[in-house]
Amino acid sequence: MSNSAFTKLSPPLNSYYTTFINADLVAGILTVTHNLGTQYELVTVIDNNDKVIIPDDITFTNTTSLLVDLSSYGAITGTWKIFILDKGVATTNTPVTIQDVDGDTKVETEKNADEDKVRVTTAGVQRGQIDSDGLTLASGASVNEFSTDGTMAGNSDDAVPTEKAVKTYTDDKTVYKGRTDGSTPAAGYIGEMLSGQCGSTTTNTSGYTDLVTLTLTAGIWLVSMCGQSDNVASETGFDAAFIVSGTGGTTQGVDAFYVRHAACQGHSFAFAPRRIVIATGTADKTVVLQGKSVTAAGLMTGYVTAIRIA
């Protein structure tokens, strides 16, 4: 017979093994429930002397069970064994399933025609699948990448960062991390510091004068302000204001703290640090130190410092 008469099969993928004794036989026939999912398998029976036994008959009942006729052997002694192997499938695009004995834990391909999916099931519940979108678990987003990008620039719901990528990202966002020279972190990083100051600036009684202005971008900032009135004899008092997103010029904003000094020649002042939160995607905010003389024109100096804390 020529080789062309045979169909090439893939190696067996599923198997079943059990032991049995005489009490398991009914009228000399052993019923085996294998749940292999195919009707025709390769069957080997081994007796208690570890010899292969040829059964009287084997009936392949269906895709989950078969009957082994051992009636000619009479009452068997000891423990016998039976091995069942899935015969394999022809080398065509036949769906393949790897499963446990009771069939509730398995890996399946092509459950539905040409769907190009691999499904994973445990205890009768599908836990995930792999397809052209990547790995999808029973709930949550699909994942198609384990990312090594330490900048997280992709901002993707489809990528899981590696341990090294996470460490690189968090290290880069930590205050002074990796900056052994003590330099200030770059803009946008925790520890970024902005500062401004003014020398002796004339303040009048007609309205508030901007002394120092800083512009803050999205993030959380800690801002402090201080200054002093110069020793000018004609000046009898001054006001200072801490403005957040004030209108600038000589007009005070509505979100402000104030301090007032009388008989103020050479007096200094300071505002307690304020925590300012600017949400991502919102407009920048300005913080302004303003000053105003009470009774006569005077001179003021001022200092403003802002540190990014998140």
CA distance 31 to 47: 16
More confident residue, 105 or 264: 105
Sole residue written with tokens 């949550």: 140
C-alpha 237/C-alpha 263 separation (Å) is 5
Band (pLDDT 50/70/90 cuts) for residue 87 is low
Q: 102-116, 194-208, 262-276, 295-309 — which is least confidently predicted? A: 262-276
Whole-prediction pTM? 0.45
Q: How many Å apart are CA 299 and CA 228, to the nearest integer?
A: 9
pLDDT number for residue 246: 46
10-24, 42-56, 163-177, 278-292: the lowest-pLDDT one: 163-177
Cα separation of the two ends of the chain: 80
pLDDT tier, 69 (very low <50, low <70, confident <90, very high otherwise): very high
pLDDT at 4: 42
Helix, strand and coil content of the chain, in percent to the nearest 5, comes to 5, 45, 45
Q: How many CB atoms lie within 10 A of CB 159?
A: 19
In 3D, which of 139, 179, 184, 197 has the Cα closest to residue 307? 184
- Average pLDDT of span 197-218: 86
Q: Residue 257: what pLDDT?
A: 55
Could you give all domains of the chain from N- to C-terminal order, each with its CATH number? Answer: 3-86 (no CATH), 97-140 (no CATH), 193-308 (2.60.120.760)
Enumerate the β-bridge partners of residue 70: none
What is the C-alpha separation between 87 and 94, in angstroms, rounded? 13
Q: Specify the pLDDT at position 260.
A: 57
Q: How confident is the model at residue 261 (pLDDT cuts 50, 70, 90)?
A: low
